[in-house]
Amino acid sequence: MPSNPKSTKYEPTWESLKNYTVPQWYMDAKFGLFIHWGVYSVPAFGNEWYPRNMYLQGSREYHHHLKTYGPHTLFGYKDFIPQLTAEKFDADEWARLFKAAGARFIMPVAEHHDGFPMYDCSFSNWTAAKMGPKRDIIGELAEAVRRQELILGVSSHRAEHWFFFNGGREFDSDVQDPRYEDFYGPAQPGPRDETDDWRSKDWTPRPNGKFLDDWLARTCELVDKYQPQVVYFDWWIEQVVFEPYLQKFAAYYYNRGKEWGKGVVINYKYQTFPAGTAVYDIERGQLKGMRPDFWQTDTSVSKNSWGYIKNHNYKTAGDIIGDLVDIVSKNGALLLNIGPRPDGTIPEPEQAMLREIGRWLAINGEAIYGTRPWHVFGEGPTEIVEGSFADTRRARFTGQDIRFTTKDKTLYAICLAWPGEAVNITSLSANSPVPADKIGEISMLGVPGVLSWEQNEAGLTLQTPAQKPGENAYTFKIVLKGL
């Protein structure tokens, strides 16, 4: 056995892949941006699952499509492609906005369930490089974000394409036209709604060898062409037939990362990867407590869609900031999604949210970037609903909800709302690991001067400054001594 197994080449086995180490840059970055942009942005109705739902008879999207565009034989999903013009898409302008937002890594969707790659994919003619924009969107973004010293990731949702268009097999539609098989296929039977077992790990018919080989080839091509440092997968790779292909891909990608001299990451959901072989991701959800292994939440600025639609139900920047702080205190990162319009512009409310988050991070970022969890994540009355798709089922945080992070000899206590004239932090009582003789000085980020405080067995009471440094979460910086 080599003395340092982490320095050896990865093999396509779970045993070998357990030598994986989460890179330092990722644990320091904390905040990234997801970008759902594709053909589904053109109809701008429902959400990014419009391409599937428009072929499911009886659905809201099905009736909307008939009323708005006519029969599916005359106007199918493929006919939206020319309207994905990207005529106003400026990758450098996007990257400057992402930098201003305080994001550290950027993850465009390289291929969504609809099977239309937004990159120069050599395995299909149905790509953004050859149709619609006729531009390598991922390639342009890769160069632009790196010019801003941001890190590129990509997501692949190719696995779900196995069943995505199967509704179009059930009635007269262009999905049945053999001329478009390369785009719509395989369109095999798949889970249709919540009455089906979406979490089945062995759905039948199983993806066949041809589809799985194509999935692996496409995903490895993404790695080789763009050198992403994060690759995100949606849930359907949890199918049992994917397991050997996931092992092959992970070994290939991790070895490529070593060749590049860059730390790389795979994001997965549920139990797709064994612990210690990749980074666990929770979609639209959080954890109640701290997780010893680094993890991630991915969520959207919108409550009802990831892609561009015309009737978003937006979250507030303050709610997103609160979630970011909560997630970081529990040893996680936040991947926040936006959805550009077909012409390549980012909707103004989303730009405004990103800039507001960026202004908060400009003041409070030292309590986020490069930090590590304290021995408890925080305190307060607001209950977190744990698990996926729970991020809108919680009351707003209060001034008594406090989260902790640490860096060097500093402890940060972040109030998730304004606490009033004073706040008592019970986790920092005289009996805590931070007694009075270990406290140097206390201040609030964004406010000059130091704050008065006193400590007893009931907690650490801090007097807040007269002037708020902003309108969102508020960070007390506690400089420690004698450690």
Tell me: the pLDDT tens digits for 298-330? 999 999 999 999 999 999 999 999 999 999 999
Domain finish residue from 268, 283, 298: 283
264 and 384, same structural domain?
no
Of 299, 235, 267, 269, which Cα lies nearest the Cα of 33? 299
- 49-53, 192-196, 364-368, 469-473: lowest mean pLDDT where? 192-196
Of 323, 422, 420, which Cα lies nearest the Cα of 378? 323
Model confidence at 396, pLDDT cuts 50, 70, 90, reads: confident
Domain that holds residue 216: 5-283
Task: Tell me if 401 is assigned to some domain.
Answer: yes
Domain finish residue from 227, 257, 283: 283
202 and 65, same structural domain?
yes
240 and 383, same structural domain?
no
pLDDT at 482 over 70: no
Cβ(415)–Cβ(437) under 8 Å?
no
399 and 266, same structural domain?
no
201 and 83, same structural domain?
yes
Q: In this predicted structure, what is the pLDDT of residue 395?
A: 74
**CATH number where 142 lies:** 3.20.20.80
DSSP string, 102-147: T-SEEEEEEE-TT---SS--TT-S-STTTSTT-S-HHHHHHHHHHH
pLDDT at 104 over 90: yes
pLDDT at 195 over 90: no
383 and 242, same structural domain?
no
What's the total number of domains in the chain? 2
Considering the chain, what is the average pLDDT of its residues? 95
| Close Cβ partners of 466 (under 8 Å, ≥ 6 residues apart) | none
Model confidence at 7, pLDDT cuts 50, 70, 90, reads: low
To the question of pTM greater than 0.75 for the whole model, the response is yes
Domain finish residue from 264, 283, 302: 283
385 and 269, same structural domain?
no
Task: Tell me if 100 is assigned to some domain.
Answer: yes
Task: Tell me if 346 is assigned to some domain.
Answer: no
**CATH number where 438 lies:** 2.60.40.1180
Task: Tell me if 127 is assigned to some domain.
Answer: yes
Residue 142 to residue 95: CA distance in whole angstroms: 10
Model confidence at 387, pLDDT cuts 50, 70, 90, reads: confident
Cβ(279)–Cβ(22) under 8 Å?
yes
383 and 257, same structural domain?
no
Percent of the chain with pLDDT over 90: 92
- AA letter at 191: P
251 and 386, same structural domain?
no
399 and 274, same structural domain?
no
279-283 vs 378-379, strand pairing mode: unpaired
List the structure tokens of 235: 């849930």
Q: In this predicted structure, what is the pLDDT of residue 5?
A: 47
Tell me: the pLDDT tens digits for 204-247? 999 999 999 999 999 999 999 999 999 999 999 999 999 999 99
Model confidence at 194, pLDDT cuts 50, 70, 90, reads: low
Of 445, 441, 415, which Cα lies nearest the Cα of 427? 415
Q: In this predicted structure, what is the pLDDT of residue 4?
A: 44
DSSP string, 147-199: HTTPEEEEEE-GGGGGTTTGGGGSSSSGGG-GGGHHHH--------STTS-TT
